[in-house]
Structure 1
Amino acid sequence: MEPKELMTKRRIEKLASEYENYEEVLSVSDPKDGGFEVFVSHSSADNGFIRKVLLFLKYAKGGVNGYVDWQDSKLQHPTDAQTAKRLKDRIRNSRKMIYVVTNDSLKSVWCSWELGFADRDKGVDNVAILAVKPNNGRWKHNEYLQQYPWISYENNLFHVVKPNGEIIPLHEWLTK
């Protein structure tokens, strides 16, 4: 599993680099229906890569709007109870959640909290793991992540692979 995950990061970065000039469209504005297609849970230490994930979703995956907290001017800093309420609303109003797993996101209490809330609110099938951190398929000390589908890149295509082995094209998973 490890090479596919690392290739996924490199592939997303490569695809996103084609759209770097469009970065101004990544500002958060409320969609007319009040929701985003995907809530992207991540560590703020990974913001550079997360920008590329958003570009990838928007341009390489057919206009899928991703939400990230650092682009939301309505969030308070430092964080407080209102931050949690706002994030809950954003998770509820997104169809899917992608949890970007890195060494930093695994240490983040906010990422764990977001994942737990999304699991309860959306169900396991509407959460996917984008693993940037090598894990050798074991997720030592984070074994609970094995219950979620994960994003894979194979045969020039991105897929969501469910724990039961079912494979769904990423675009199909994002839009259903």
Structure 2
Amino acid sequence: MAIAQAELLRAAQRQPVIKSQVRAGLQKTAFLCHSHRDEKLAEGLQSLLAEQGVQLYIDWKDASMPPEPNRETAARIQQRIKSCDWFLFLATANSMASRWCPWELGYADGQKQPDRIAVVQTSDSSTTHGNEYMQLYRRVDSNNAGQLLWLPAGGNQGQFVRSVPFL
């Protein structure tokens, strides 16, 4: 089931949990592809994933990024996509209309194994976003208890995000 944008907004109000795994360098990492217009949704997903033991990289929180997008920005994004364990696409109306998001997704598709790319479908008051990619990539969904699940492309049976092993 898609993650309700309202749930992401509620999660954005919480402070991300810093687990001991971060200090030990054992935490899973994910690059977040998203529209900057969805800042609060991105922060909410960051909080939810931190609770599951996943450190989410958000480019606009990276002080080393250039203030204006340029070739250096693209090179740093490419490096981050390659270095993170997973690539997550936060599907919203804004990201589906973005010029950068399809570029990042296409780059990740050429660099990462298919099981390392996932779409985070979201739903708002009118629709569910990200259906276009469901047969291509894994997805991150939430169950009725609000736990995040890692599901295979086109499938409905998956595992909890916190228990997905490193490959």
TM-score of the superposition, structure 1-length normalised?
0.75
| Larger strand percent | 2
Report the Cα offset of residue 40 of structure 1.
0.8
Q: Is contact 1:42-1:105 (8 Å) kept?
A: yes
Tell me: CA distance 1:16–1:47, structure 2 relative to 1, closer, same or farther (3 Å). Answer: closer
Percent identity reads 24
Task: Report which stretch shifted further, 128-137 or 114-123.
Answer: 128-137
CA RMSD of aligned residues (A): 2.9
Residues 83-106 of structure 1: CA distance to partner in whole angstroms, max 9, x if unpaired?
100000111110001110000001
Q: Is contact 1:36-1:67 (8 Å) kept?
A: no
Match of 1:171 in 2: 162
Q: Residues 23-172 of structure 1 correspond to what in structure 2 (within 5 A)?
A: 37-58=29-50, 60-62=51-53, 64-133=54-123, 134-135=127-128, 139=131, 143-156=132-145, 157-165=147-155, 166-172=157-163
Tell me: CA distance 1:164–1:100, structure 2 relative to 1, closer, same or farther (3 Å). Answer: closer
Report the Cα offset of residue 13 of structure 1.
4.2
Match of 1:28 in 2: none
Q: Structure 1 unaligned runs (5+)? A: 26-30
| Larger helix percent | 1
Secondary structure of the structure 1 residue equivalent to 2:135: helix
Matching residue's letter, 2:46: L
Task: Report which stretch shifted further, 108-117 or 148-157.
Answer: 148-157
Separation in 2, partners of 1:91, 1:158: 21
Q: Structure 2 unaligned runs (5+)? A: none
Aligned length: 157
Q: Is contact 2:91-2:129 (8 Å) kept?
A: no
Q: Is contact 2:34-2:95 (8 Å) kept?
A: yes
